[in-house]
Amino acid sequence: MKKLTVMLVLLLLSACSNPDLENTNDVTLRFWDESEPVGNEEFIKEERDIDTFVSATESAEVLEQGTVINTPPLLRYTLRQDEENLDYHLWITEQGEGYIQSLIPEGTRTYQLDEESVESLEGFLEGYETVAFLDEVTFE
pLDDT tens digits, residue range 88-134? 999 999 999 999 999 987 778 999 999 999 999 999 999 888 888 99
Cα radius of gyration (the chain)? 16
pLDDT at 91: 97
Could you tell me if 101 and 111 are in contact, meaning their C-beta atoms sit under 8 angstroms apart?
yes
Which uninterrupted H or E stretch holds 120? helix 115-125
**Is residue 76's pLDDT more than 50?**
yes
* Res 20: pLDDT: 58
Cα torsion angle, 37, 42, 45, 49, sign: negative
Domains delineated in the chain? 21-125 (2.60.40)
In which band, very low, low, confident or very high, does the pLDDT at 7 lie, cut at 50, 70 and 90?
very low
Strand partners, 81: 24
